[in-house]
Structure formats: structure tokens, C-alpha cells
Chain A
Amino acid sequence: MASTDADYAVWLRGIEKRFPGVIACAGADLRVRPGTIHALLGENGAGKTTMVSVLSGVYRPDGGEVWVNGQRRFFQSPADAIAAGVGMVYQEFRLVPTLTVAENIVLGAAPGLLRSAEIEERVAELSAAYGMAADPTRPVWQLSMGERQRVEILKALWRNASVLVMDEPTAVLTPGEAAELGLTLKAMAEDGRSIIYISHKLDQVVAFCDEATVLRQGKTVATVDNLDDVDLSSLAEMMVGSSGGGYVQRPPALEAGPEVLALQGISALNDRGLPALADINMTVHSGEIVGIVGVSGNGQKELAEVVTGLRRPSQGRVTFKEQDVTEASPADRYRLGLAYVPEDRIGVGLAPKMSVVDNAVVRSYRSQRRGLMLVMAKCVQFCQDLVERFGVRAGRLHDPVAGLSGGNLQRLLLGRELAEQPAVLVAAQPTRGLDVQGVAAIQSHLADQRADGVGILLISEDLDELLALSDRLLVMFEGRVVAEYGPDVTPRTVIGEAMAGQVRA
């Protein structure tokens, strides 16, 4: 397709950006034509987020040029990028929970005097024009993830953005909501706006997008002018650089062992004091992986916390190895053999400012004592064993653990939890944000543990991962288990509907 430079809605040319110890972009290019939906593909760490952060004025590039609508730009701040017509929807929404929908939409582009009624009316008109329902007077903290995303898009439309960047937009959506988003984006493209769509869900990319750019290790390795011309596997190959890198194969079915963990009638409140879990009943047997699937925020986090003792249930009973542990502390449960890889690796699982050794003994420091003293040599030995057994590239063991990469952090955390042969492992989002190698390593550890007879409660947002690993799959919606599927292949559409609360009888 013949285009001159001036025709591009966005042209990022030879972008370079370094962070201490890491090169995020090493001369990457991105060209987007007006009125198209352009997929920006790449693995974690390929530089996608850095590229769009440069485009949105959050990062200043160390080298390269930024062109928007035919003009070279030097963005000093997000304000400059907004003024040039670039709107950005971040993966972690940039909304103020305590402000209303209308206030969030007009933030940064509001008239000097705020007349709430007038603004709310204009916001309502805008959302009606694009068929996105949103009550302008509601505070954002009351909204679902899908609704919050609509607010983010409306924010960009309010500023009349000609370029809209969406970073992993479907991660928080049900399959149904994701399809709806696709329609909204198409309507916006037909309006003449350009959309940059970052995702690693290739099936969605192929369904939604017109063209694609593939990044690898901070460089552009391929551009696709017409996505109809390529198939999924060749796109995947471009991203990874070699074929393969899928999911660990589903482990062969095992004879289910005895029941090790049971929840009976569990209800619990979330941090805001609102109901988060309602009458949950489930069991985990030794040697099986029970997968929990659901759109994030439907009670998965609270479930993990109730099981591991970090949250008191308001009702119900937790039984572990035939003991009632409802009142037992997290440490007591660990001592009984209940291990936990929390969703928040940093901040819950690991203390970022403390050393690798200190983090390695979080679970076992009580057994490294002699009298009052903590025997440092024993701690270091314990840590060294862990690092070797689980292949953690840890650098110096007395440096803060925050210096480790995501994959190594997770190996350290998982290794620590498995070090003392637990009976049950609760793993929440264990592979989120890891690169292909990291994902594979963690998944094969999980499969090995299952084979050794450990019962695993696996909470994940990655449906493919769950389908590949789980013996049973439970779907959570609004704090309830709404469906359970056995090891037989269940159509994704059926699971998707259950995730949205529509259970087929």
C-alpha cells in the first residue's frame, strides 16, 4: 500500500529508551495509518508498553523521532501528547476511584468552572453517541472493570483524540465484553480515528485488527499490512523468534487422592466491607489441580485469602487434612502443609526491600533459630539450596530482592513455598507477566507437584493455562461458584458465558 510519511497517523521512528540495567527499546519503529486498528505485538519485555508510553508523553525517548498526524513532536509530558490528539487507555486504569464518572472523564480537560449538571449531560450525550452506557454521576469505585474501561475510552473521546492507544484492553473483560469492545473500536476507526491495540491474545488481534507491528527485544522485527494474509501460528512465531512456547501439555489424568482441603458454606467480606464471597463449597484432593476461572474482581483474591488464613470468613468452615482450620493463622496453616503463592508477588509474597536470604526464610525462619538468635549461616544455606533447586538467577544473596527479574522472583517464591513439601498449594496468577520461558518453568513445576500428590488450587485469568493444566475447573462470578467443568474439553464459549454469569443448564 503506497503511503507517504505525512499520511501516517502515528510514526514512531527508531525509538530508543533505556532504564537502569535494561534497554526497553533499541531503535523500534511503528507506523499506523489513519482509520485503522493496528496491533502492537510482542512478548513481555519486548518494549510495547515503553513504545506507547513514549507516544503518550509519559517517557521521553533517549533517541528517535515521534510523528503524529504528519508533524514531528517533542512531548515533554502527557499534556503535550493529549494536545496532539493521542489518547491512552492504560492496562491499569488511570481513574480516580472516589471521583464520579463525569469528573474522571473531564479531568484535565474541564472548563474553568465546573457546573456538574451541564458536564454530566454532555458526558451522557457522548456515551450515547458511541453506544457505551455509563452513568455519569456514579463514583468510579462502584463500577465493574468493563464499565471502567468504557470510562477510559470516553475520556479519550472527550478530548477528541485522533489516536487511541489501548494496552491489553481485554485482560479484565469477559469474552462477551471483549467482543463488544471490538465493535466499539471498529466504530471509532470508521470515524477516522486510529487505534493502537496492544495484546498477546492473538485470536483477538486477528479478529479486531487491520495491521500489525511485531516487537522483539526492543526492536521491530515484522510489520503486517494486512492481517488477513497471515495465520495465528506465524504471528506467534514472529513474536517468539522460534516456533513453540505454548502451554505445558495437560498432564495425564491421575487417580484422585484423598480430600485434603474443603470449604463449606464460606462467605466473606472484601476490604470495603462489602460481600465478596457467598456460600462457597469446594474441595481439593491430593494429586489434582483445581482451576478457578473468572473475570478479575469476582472474589478470587478473597477466596485465596480465606483458604490461606489472611482473611476471616464471615460464615462457613475451612477444613484442611480433616482438621478445622477456620480460626488458624496463616503461619499455622503453613506448618500444617498449606503453601501459598499470592497474586501480589511483591508486597505480599516477597518484601521488596529485604535481601534474597531474608525473603527465602519468610516461611521457615522459626526453624533457623538457636535460642533467641537467628542463625545466619543456616538461613544462607537454606537460601542457596532453594536458588539451586529452582534455578533462580539471584545475583548476590544479600542484595534486595527487588533487583531480581519477574521470572526469578516467581521461581524464588514458588520454590520457597514448595521447599517443605506442602500438601496443598494455592497459586494465584502464578504466571502473570512472565516471559515464555518463565511461564513454562512455573507450569511444569505445578504439573510435577501434582504428580507428586500435591493438591493445587490454581487461580488464573488465563483460560488457556487453566484448560491445559486443570483436572477440574470452577467458574466464579460475583463471589459464587456458578459452574464446574470436568476434565473433558468444554467449549470456551460456554465457559465464557459462565464467566459473565450466564450459566447454561
Chain B
Amino acid sequence: MSEAALIGLFVATVQFGTLVFLAALGELIAERAGVLNLGVEGMMTMGAVSGFMVGLETGSPWAAFFAAAAVGSLVGGFHALVSVVLGADQVVSGLALTIGGLGLAAYVGRNVVGERPETQFTDLGIAGLADIPWIGEIFFDQPPVVYLTVLLGLAVWFVLARTRLGLAIRAVGESAPTTDTAGHSVMALRSVAVMVGGAFAGAAGSFLSLYMAPGWTEGMVAGRGWIAVALVIFGAWRPGRLALGALLFGFTLALQPRLQTFDIEVLGLDVSSISPALLGILPFVLTVVVLVIISWRHRHRPSVAPAALGLPYRREER
């Protein structure tokens, strides 16, 4: 395997890692506030199509990125309205969001399938660092979204751990009545968390359609929104562990299309002879296996999930 191929693999690992980390970070915020949102795949897809279309229209990747975040937030707001404000079942609402989001994206984007964007994010060579062999190319010559995502990860960690708002979000995910009677608005906290989470997912979707696979096709998110949902469990609802998990999954996602080009043998089997379709199951099988292993290791301990995850709250219910 050539050095260039190996570097390419790690560059792609960082990018795929960024993609799933950004989306999972959004889901983490929502779940820490006690709202399960299974609509990540739908929000990402809506972000992908809207980001791509705004990019075509304006020629500005940043305008496209933030437009996608706004759309993601709007779609997330729908989940907040139905499941937080009106208190409907979160699982049902989230699934409907995914199905409806995929349909709406297909409808909205029907006329731009196959078009190519004129401009896209350029890689930011960070002066001095980008020239370091290996490390420079992998970590310091990436598109700006990668660095923005790292900053967002740090920001989410800081807000959750070190601010009044973060304390309230952590509290409302554990016990809504407690947070309510302490004087915070449960509805506001949860709605904001879901909408911010939606923005992250939408932005992640546009990173896909603007940079990683420029263009729009139906179903282009291809299950990576679901991987983001699983990642939150893998990350035990903590941003730091989430980042580690994202790199692991990023590696698998990056490996899958490249494996064929690598001239290596595993257990006497020539890897390049394996069908790309079969290699495509890797990330999904890995997700299941990882979830099972985590649960096996934690089987005697109480769950670390936010205690109020998935439970709607109405104040005067009795």
C-alpha cells in the first residue's frame, strides 16, 4: 500500500469523523435535555439538499452551510413542537421526521440532481503546520468545517459542564419536574436543545453535499444519520468520548471504499477481491457489534443514559 493511499485514508478518516461527529454532537445535546430525536437522518438529508441548493444559488459555501443549519434547525423545531410542546411520542415523531424529511428532500431537490457546485470549501492549509509530513496533511490541511466542528465540540463540552444553561440542560434530561420547579422552563430548554441539535445535523448534511460528495442524490446520507444516533450511546452522552467514537467510525467509513485498492491480505484472503457491496456493510455491522460489546461490559451497572430520555413532560399532569 502506498504512502499516499495511507495518508488519503487518514485524511478521509478525519473528514468522515467530522461528518458523524457534528451530527452526533447535535443529537447529544437533544438527548442530554431528555429528547430522543430519531430524525437525524431526515434532518441531515434536508440539510444536504438545502445546503447544496443554496450553494448553487449563491456560490458561497458558507451561506450554504449556514442555510443548511437553519433548515436543520427548522426541521428539528418540528420535532420539538410535536414531541416537546404537544408531548407526543418521541420515537414516532422522530421516525416520521426521518421518513418525511427524506421525502421532502427528494421533492425539493428533484431538479438539481446531477448538477455540480461551482464553488466549494477550500482546504485550509494552516501556515507552518500544514507542511509537517503526514500530520500536516491529515490534520492541518482540511476544509474549515473540520476545524469549526472541533471548536463546536469544545464549545458544547464547555457549555454543558461550565455554564448555568448547561447545568439546566443536564438537569432537565435527568428530571423534568425538578428542573421545572427550580424555575427553568422545561419546554424552552428542550425545544432549544432539539433545534440546536437540528442545526448541527443540517450543517453536517451540507458538509456531505458541499464537500465530501459534492452534488445531490436521493438517499445520499445513506444511514450515516443513524450511525450518529448510535454514536451518542457509544460516547456515553459525553462529548469527549463521542469524538473518539467518531474517529473510529470515521475510519471505518473511510476504509470501506478504499479497501479494494489496498493490496493486502487478511487471513489469507485477498481483500481487493471482496465485493464493494459487501465491504459496505462494515460500518453498520461495526455499529451493532460495538453497541453489543458496550452493553455487555455495562450489563451489571445502571444505565448512564439521561434518566428522563424519551419521557414527555406536562406540568399539571397527575
Is A bound to B? yes
* Bound Cα distance A79, B179 (Å): 10
B183 touches A96 (CB 8 A): no
User: Does B302 have its Cβ within 8 Å of any Cβ on chain A?
Assistant: yes
Please determine whether B163 and A94 come into contact, CB atoms closer than 8 angstroms: no
Chain A residues, CB < 8 A from B300:
273
Partner of B171, one of A79, A96, A271: A96
B168 interface residue (CB < 8 Å to A): yes
Contact B316 A107 (CB under 8 A): no
Measured between C-beta atoms, what is the minimum distance from A301 to chain B in Å?
A: 16
Q: Check B180 for interface membership: any CB of A closer than 8 A.
A: yes
B174's nearest neighbour on chain A, judged by CB, is A96
Q: Is A23 an interface residue (CB 8 A)?
A: no
Interface centre among B166, B171, B181 (most CB of A within 10 A): B181
How many angstroms between the C-alpha atoms of A113 and B168 in the bound complex? Answer: 12
The distance from the CB of A235 to the nearest CB of chain B, in whole angstroms, is: 28
- Whether the Cβ atoms of B185 and A99 lie closer than 8 Å is no
Does B170 sit at the interface, judged by CB under 8 A? yes
Count the A-B residue pairs with Cβ separation under 8 angstroms: how many? 84
Q: Which residues of B contact A113 (CB under 8 A)?
A: 162-164
Q: Are B163 and A114 in contact (CB under 8 A)?
A: yes
Least Cβ distance of A95 to chain B in Å? Answer: 6
Q: Contact at B183–A79, with CB atoms within 8 Å?
A: yes
For B163, list chain A residues within 8 Å (CB). Answer: 112-114
A78, B164: Cβ atoms closer than 8 Å? no
Chain B residues with Cβ under 8 A from A107's Cβ?
167-168, 171, 178-179, 182, 184
Nearest Cβ on chain A to B298's Cβ, whole angstroms: 11
List, in ascending order, chain A residues with CB within 8 A of B297's CB.
none
Q: Which of B177-209 contact A (CB under 8 A)?
A: 177-185
Q: How far is the CB of B44 from chain A (nearest CB, A)?
A: 30
- The total of chain B residues at the interface (CB under 8 A) is 28
Q: Is the CB of A108 within 8 A of B182?
A: yes
With known contacts A96-B174, A106-B167, A112-B163, A88–B316 Cβ distance under 8 A? no
User: Taking the nearest CB of chain B, how far is it from the CB of A160, in angstroms?
Assistant: 13
Which single residue of chain A is at the shortest CB-CB distance from B166?
A: A114
Residues of B within 8 A of A94 (CB): 175, 177-178, 181-182
**A245 interface residue per 8 A CB criterion:** no
- Please give, as numbers and ranges, the residues of chain B lying within 8 Å of A111 by CB-CB distance: 164
B171 touches A59 (CB 8 A): no
Contact B183 A109 (CB under 8 A): yes
| Known A19-B318, A99-B170, A111-B164: A56·B183 in contact at CB below 8 Å | no
Q: Is the interface of A mostly helix, strand, loop or mixed?
A: loop
Q: How far is the CA of A97 from the CA of B178 in the complex (A)?
A: 10
Q: Which of A97, A108, A272 contacts B174 (CB 8 A)?
A: A97
Q: Which residues of A contact B180 (CB under 8 A)?
A: 58, 77-78
List CB contacts (< 8 Å) of B120-169 with chain A: 161-168
Question: CB-CB < 8 A to A112: which residues of B?
Answer: 163-165
B174 and A99 contact, CB distance less than 8 A: yes
Q: Is A103 an interface residue (CB 8 A)?
A: yes
Give the chain B neighbours of A95 by CB distance below 8 A: 175, 178
A110 lies within 8 A of chain B by Cβ: yes
- Report which residue of A19, A95, A98, A113 has the largest number of chain B beta carbons within 10 angstroms of its beta carbon: A98
Contacts of B291-318 to chain A: CB distance below 8 A = 300-302, 307, 315-316, 318
Is the C-beta of A67 less than 8 angstroms from some C-beta in chain B? no
State the CA gap A114–B159 with chains docked (Å).
Answer: 10
- A77 and B180 alpha carbons, distance in the complex (Å): 8
Quick check: B174 and A59 within 8 Å, CB to CB? no
A90 at the interface (CB under 8 A from B): yes
Q: Give, as a whole number of angstroms, the nearest-CB distance from B295 to chain A.
A: 16
Instruction: Let me know if A82 is at the binding interface, CB within 8 A.
Output: yes
| Interface size, chain A (Cβ < 8 Å) | 32
Does the CB pair A96–B175 fall under 8 Å? Answer: yes
> What 1/0 mask marks residues of chain A from 4 to 32 whose CB sits below 8 Å from any chain B CB?
00000000000000010000000000000
Identify the closest chain A residue to B186 (Cβ): A77
In the complex, chain B residues whose CB is within 8 Å of the CB of A79: 183-185
CA A451 to CA B234, docked complex, whole Å: 58
Closest to A82 in B: B183
- Residue contact B315 to A58, C-beta cutoff 8 Å: yes
Q: Which residues of B contact A90 (CB under 8 A)?
A: 181
Assuming the contacts A79-B184, A114-B163, A273-B301, asked whether A108 and B168 have C-beta atoms less than 8 A apart, the reply is yes
Q: Which residue in chain A gives the minimum CB-CB distance to B178? A: A94
Take A58-B315, A273-B301 as given contacts and tell me if A110 and B164 are in contact as well, using a CB distance cutoff of 8 Å: yes
Residues B181 and A58 in contact, CB atoms below 8 Å apart: yes
Nearest-neighbour CB distance to chain A for B165, whole angstroms, equals 8
| B183 adjacent to A108 (CB under 8 Å) | yes
Does A78 lie within 8 Å of B182, measured CB to CB?
yes
Does A96 contact B302, Cβ atoms closer than 8 Å? no
Chain A 365-401, CB within 8 Å of chain B: the 1/0 string?
Answer: 0000000000000000000000000000000000000
Shortest A321–chain B CB gap in Å is 33
Which residues of chain A are within 8 angstroms of B181 by Cβ–Cβ distance?
Answer: 56, 58, 78, 88, 90, 94
Q: Which residue of B lies closest to A78 (CB)?
A: B181
Question: Least Cβ distance of A123 to chain B in Å?
Answer: 14
The answer to whether A77 and B185 have CB atoms under 8 Å apart is: yes
Report A385 CB to chain B, min CB distance, Å. 32
Q: Are A78 and B183 in contact (CB under 8 A)?
A: yes
Give the docked Cα–Cα distance between A455 and B178 (Å): 41
Which residue from chain B places its CB closest to the CB of A77 in the assembled complex? B185
In the bound complex, CA of A374 to CA of B216 (Å): 56
Distance in angstroms from A122 CB to nearest chain B CB is 15
Q: A79-B184, A98-B307, A273-B300 are in contact. Are A108 and B179 (CB under 8 A)?
A: yes
- How far is A90 from B174 in the complex, measured between Cα atoms in Å? 17
**Contact of B175 with A114 in the complex, beta carbons under 8 Å:** no
Cβ B183 vs Cβ A98 within 8 A: no
Complex alpha-carbon distance, A88 and B178, angstroms: 11
Q: Which residue of A lies closest to B318 (CB)?
A: A19
Closest A residue to B172 by beta carbon equals A96
State in angstroms the CA–CA spacing of A19 and B315 once bound together: 13
Instruction: A163 to B307: give the CA distance in the assembly, Å.
Output: 31
- A residues within 8 A CB of B185? 77, 79
User: Which of B161, B178, B318 is in CB contact (< 8 Å) with A96?
Assistant: B178
Least CB distance from A96 to B in Å reads 5
A77 and B313 CA atoms in complex are apart in Å by 14
| Identity of the chain B residue whose Cβ is nearest the Cβ of A105 in the assembled complex | B182
List the A side residues contacting B166 at CB < 8 Å.
Answer: 114
B302→A271 contact, CB < 8 A: yes
Q: Which of A42-101 contact B (CB under 8 A)?
A: 56, 58-60, 77-79, 82-83, 88, 90, 94-99
Residue of B nearest to A103 (CB): B167
CA distance A90 to B4 in the complex (A): 65
Q: How far is the CA of A155 from the CA of B171 in the complex (A)?
A: 15
Residues of chain B within 8 A (CB-CB) of A114 are 161-164, 166-167
List the A side residues contacting B179 at CB < 8 Å.
Answer: 96, 107-108
A residues sitting closer than 8 Å to B (CB atoms) are 19, 56, 58-60, 77-79, 82-83, 88, 90, 94-99, 103, 106-114, 155, 271-273
A77-B180, A99-B171 known; 13 other A-B pairs, CB under 8 Å? A78-B181, A82-B183, A94-B177, A94-B181, A96-B170, A96-B175, A99-B174, A108-B182, A110-B167, A111-B164, A114-B166, A271-B302, A273-B301
- 13 contacting pairs across A/B (C-beta < 8 A): A56-B181, A78-B182, A79-B184, A90-B181, A94-B177, A94-B182, A97-B174, A108-B168, A112-B163, A113-B164, A114-B163, A273-B300, A273-B301
Q: 10 shortest A-B CB distances, which residue pairs?
A: A108-B182, A79-B183, A108-B183, A94-B178, A110-B164, A107-B182, A96-B174, A78-B181, A82-B183, A96-B171
